[in-house]
Chains A and B, each alone.
Chain A
Amino acid sequence: MRKSLQHVNDNFSVRYNLYGGMLFKICMVYLGNKEDAEEAMQEAFLKLIYKSPQFADSEHEKAWLIRITSNICKDMLRSVWRKRVVKTENVENYFSNPGDLNIMEDILKLPEKYKVVIHLHYFEDYSVKKMSETLRISESAIKMRLKRGREILKIELEENSYE
């Protein structure tokens, strides 16, 4: 039993170092406060440790984690126990510059289905194809969400932005 517990702890530690930062960012973009983000991360790591499938490689594992975390966040947002308003009060703590805070608040105000697409494309530099594979959504839907998200955020169009 001790061996097994130690194994769980080591497993978590390795996975947290690999994905903790990325998942926290995704959760924060979805949920807007660190308490909820931590709860979502906990669920995601529990699923990773106890219920994950056999991964082909680390990219497969990462894609699985992103999809699972995104679903957990969406479930939390839809929960009847949670007010459907993103609480942004403690986001302020991360930003000293009002301009940065404004950008973050605009991202947090995005409808939930655009958030992860905007995050993956503009922060993680995912292509439309990769997002489609990761989130299991069609490429046309990804493009549409990117377009809408970009319109809402008034993001400047880049060359080859859909590649």
Chain B
Amino acid sequence: MNRNDIKHVINKIEPEKEIEQRLSEKIYKRQCNKFVLKPIFLVTVSLAILICFGIFGYNFLIKGPNISTKQGSYPSALMWNNSLYSGNAVPKEINVLEVGNMVGTVAKQVIPMPKHNGEFNDVSKFSTGNQLFLIKNVEITEAIAILRDGKYYRIDRSVTSLSIVWDNKIYNFEGNFDEDTINQGNIDTSIGVVKRIIVRKPYKNGDIVASGVEADKTIFPSGSKIYLLKNEGPDKAIAVEDKNGKFQKAVYIKKLTAS
């Protein structure tokens, strides 16, 4: 095969005369559609904007500002005892005999997340005026009860999947490891070291408990030092030095049980 063969062969491929006509018609049609669709598109968009403004105006100006019960990616939460309690997906009803003293009432709906005690963000799980109670044999740091429609429900403290066990107590790492670190000035004496990373019970003192699969569990390698805090006792929180030399706070949740 040589250049002339290729030239000769490819030269024989010629478009039919009708192709020009067909292409011309298609391009002409496309252009017509553009002219026809453009005003239709503009009218449709204008109508959609007017309808949206109408709905917004009605809801906001006539009905008043609406605080949605759906908070997008924000979790359902109530702030109490300076901690967040989550409204469980399936409400856990408890017997009145398990309920202890009343500790307060639900105060106000806010978005996106509650910041002060009594605030909540999800009207499907909490309502203003709902009463809050202790649960017998359960620490307030672990769970409380809420009275709704004559029934008591347990609401658990929101915890992350990373905890540490020390002195037979479970502490939970709540903060953001980059932003919510503790200043060295607030760090007191070292009380021990991290011994191992564990995902299942039984837990022992020195265990970092990673209940979920998450990369954060590698932030505290074995040997990481555990510290007391100067302004909070070990009944409230402790701190652990992470692999980057930052001090991460872990807040007390409950005593380690034998189970």
CB-based contact A21/B15 at 8 Å: yes
Q: Is B90 an interface residue (CB 8 A)?
A: no
9 new A-B pairs (CB below 8 Å) besides A118-B6, A123-B10, A158-B2? A8-B27, A12-B23, A16-B20, A20-B15, A37-B15, A42-B23, A49-B27, A122-B3, A154-B1
Q: Is A141 an interface residue (CB 8 A)?
A: no
Instruction: Count chain B residues whose beta carbon lies closer than 8 angstroms to a beta carbon of A.
Output: 27
| Contact among B23, B26, B35 with A16 in the assembled complex (CB-CB below 8 Å) | B23
- Which A residue sits closest to B27, measured CB to CB? A12
Question: B55: shortest Cβ distance to chain A, in Å?
Answer: 35
- Mark the stretch among A57-65, A74-82, A99-107, A129-137 that contacts chain B: A99-107
20 example contacts (A-B, Cβ-Cβ < 8 A) are as follows A1-B35, A5-B32, A8-B27, A8-B28, A13-B24, A16-B24, A20-B19, A24-B14, A24-B15, A34-B16, A37-B15, A38-B22, A41-B23, A91-B13, A94-B14, A104-B10, A119-B10, A156-B1, A156-B2, A158-B3
- Which A residue sits closest to B18, measured CB to CB? A38
CA A153 to CA B1, docked complex, whole Å: 7
B13 neighbours in A (Cβ, 8 Å)? 24-25, 28-29, 91, 94, 104
CB-based contact B20/A29 at 8 Å: no
CA A29 to CA B7, docked complex, whole Å: 12
CB-based contact A104/B9 at 8 Å: yes
A contacts, CB < 8 Å to B: 1, 4-5, 8-9, 12-13, 16, 20-21, 24-25, 28-29, 34, 37-38, 41-42, 45-46, 49, 91, 94-95, 100, 103-104, 106-107, 118-119, 122-123, 153-156, 158
CA A108 to CA B19, docked complex, whole Å: 22
- Which B residue sits closest to A29, measured CB to CB? B10
B6 neighbours in A (Cβ, 8 Å)? 103, 107, 118, 122-123, 155
B2 neighbours in A (Cβ, 8 Å)? 155-156, 158
- Which A residue sits closest to B5, measured CB to CB? A103
CA A49 to CA B14, docked complex, whole Å: 22
| Contact among B1, B14, B26 with A21 in the assembled complex (CB-CB below 8 Å) | B14
Question: B238: shortest Cβ distance to chain A, in Å?
Answer: 57
Q: Is B31 an interface residue (CB 8 A)?
A: yes
A24 neighbours in B (Cβ, 8 Å)? 13-15, 19
Could you tell me the dominant secondary structure of chain A's interface residues? helix
Q: Is B201 an interface residue (CB 8 A)?
A: no
- Which A residue sits closest to B36, measured CB to CB? A1
Q: Is B12 an interface residue (CB 8 A)?
A: yes
Which residues 1-58 of B have a CB within 8 angstroms of A? Answer: 1-3, 5-16, 19-20, 22-24, 26-28, 30-32, 35
Known A-B contacts A24-B15, A104-B9, A107-B6; A38 and B35 likewise in contact (beta carbons under 8 Å):
no
CB-based contact A42/B27 at 8 Å: yes
CB-based contact A45/B31 at 8 Å: no
Interface centre among A4, A46, A122 (most CB of B within 10 A): A122
CA A20 to CA B7, docked complex, whole Å: 17
Question: B36: shortest Cβ distance to chain A, in Å?
Answer: 10
A9 neighbours in B (Cβ, 8 Å)? 24, 27-28
CA A45 to CA B31, docked complex, whole Å: 13
Question: B41: shortest Cβ distance to chain A, in Å?
Answer: 16
